[in-house]
Amino acid sequence: MKVNRRTVLAGMGAAALAHGPLRAFALTSTQIGGYEFVSVSDGNLLLPRSFFFEGLPQEELAQVLAPFDLPQDQLAPPCNLTLLRNDDRVILFDAGAGPAFMPSAGSLSESLDAAGVAPEAVTDVVFTHGHPDHLWGVLDDFDDLVFPNARYHMGQVEWDYWRDPATVDTIGAARAAFAVGAARRLAAIPDRVAHFSDGDEVLPGIMAQASFGHTPGHMSFLLGSGSDAMMIGGDAIGNHHLAFARPGWASGSDQDPERGAETRQRLLDRLADEQIWLMGFHLPQGGLGRVERRGEGYRFVGAAR
C-alpha cells in the first residue's frame, strides 16, 4: 500500500481565528480494499493531562512518557476522520464534533472541501461510537443534517445505549452532557440508520469488529486483507503514547476502563502480529500507521515517516 501525503491550508473563519492561527489539514491517502482512503482532519481536542494520567503510578508514568515530550498543562490530540470512496460510494467514518463541542474542533467541512468532497456527496456515515467528537457533527448550527443524502450506520448495542433515556442518569455527571447531546442528534436520524453487530459486513468489504470498553458498543472496522488490511480503530486505541506503551493500564477516557484495557491489548496484539494498518482517530500524522512491539508494550509508527 503506497501512502501519499499532502498538506492543505484551510481558512477557519473569524471564530476559529480567535482561538489561534490557521490550521494545516494533512490529507494522507492510499488505495485499500477497492477504496481510495483519505484521512481528513476535524481539528483537535484540548484536554488536561489529568484526563489521561490521573490515578496512575506517577514514577513509572514519568519514565514511560519521557520519550514523547508531551506538554505539561494540556494535551491536544488530533481528530482524524476516515474517508473512503469509489465509483459508487463516499463513506465517512464518524461525523466529527460539529460546532457545539470545542472551539478547537469542528473543522471537518473545511477538510472535506480541501479533499474535494461536498457534504451532499457523502453516501454513508459509519459511526465507531457516540461520543461528541464522533457524533455531534451530524447537525449544523440550525439543527439541519450536515450530510443530507447519507445513510447512517451504527452498531445496535451503541445505538440502544445512547437512545436509552436512563443513560443520562447512569453515565456519570462528567458525561451527562454527552448522553443528552447524543440522544438529540440520534433523534434526527432514526429513519436513516442501519444497525449491525460484531462480524457483520456493514458495507461491501467493510467488516464490523466489536471493540467495547471505550463505550458500551464501540466498534472498529476492518477492510482489505493480508498486509494491505486496515483497521479503522476509532477510540479503541486512543493515543500514541500510554495506550501503546502500557495498554493494560486503565484509561480515564474509557467508560469501562477494565474492558477498554482488555480490548486495547487484544487489538494491539493482532495489529502487530498480522501487520494490519491502523487508522486511529486521535493518533498523530493523520492517524495512519503500523503497530510494532517494543519492550513491555508497543509503539505507533506513522505511515508518513
pLDDT tens sequence across 107-143: 999 999 999 999 999 999 999 999 999 999 999 999 9
- Nearest 5°: phi and psi at 174? -65, -25
Q: What is the pLDDT of residue 289?
A: 94
Mean pLDDT (the chain) is 90
Q: Torsion angle of alpha carbons 253, 234, 79, 271, nearest 10°?
A: 100
Q: What is the pLDDT of residue 29?
A: 67
In CATH, what number does 4-302 get? 3.60.15.10
pLDDT category, 30, cuts 50, 70, 90? confident
- Mapped onto helix, strand or coil, the DSSP state of residue 148 is coil
Tell me the C-alpha to C-alpha distance, in Å, between residue 195 and each of 64, 154, 210: 40, 5, 13
Per domain, the residue ranges of the chain are 4-302
Which residue carries 452532557 as its cell?
177
Q: What is the pLDDT of residue 68?
A: 94
Q: Using only C-alpha atoms, what is the Rg of the chain?
A: 18
Q: What is the pLDDT of residue 34?
A: 86
Q: What is the pLDDT of residue 28?
A: 60
Give residue-wise pLDDT tens across range 216-262.
999 999 998 877 899 999 999 999 999 999 999 999 999 999 999 99
pLDDT category, 192, cuts 50, 70, 90? very high
Q: What is the pLDDT of residue 18?
A: 32
pLDDT category, 78, cuts 50, 70, 90? very high
% of the chain surpassing 90 pLDDT = 82
pLDDT category, 65, cuts 50, 70, 90? very high
- Mapped onto helix, strand or coil, the DSSP state of residue 199 is coil
Q: What is the pLDDT of residue 23?
A: 47
Residue 283 has pLDDT above 80, yes or no: yes
Give the mean model confidence (pLDDT) for residues 7-13: 36
Residue 222 to residue 40: CA distance in whole angstroms: 18
Give the mean model confidence (pLDDT) for residues 52-58: 91
Pick from 47, 52, 55: which is nearest to 73 by CA?
Answer: 47
pTM of the predicted model, to two decimals? 0.92
- Nearest 5°: phi and psi at 12? -105, -5
pLDDT category, 190, cuts 50, 70, 90? very high
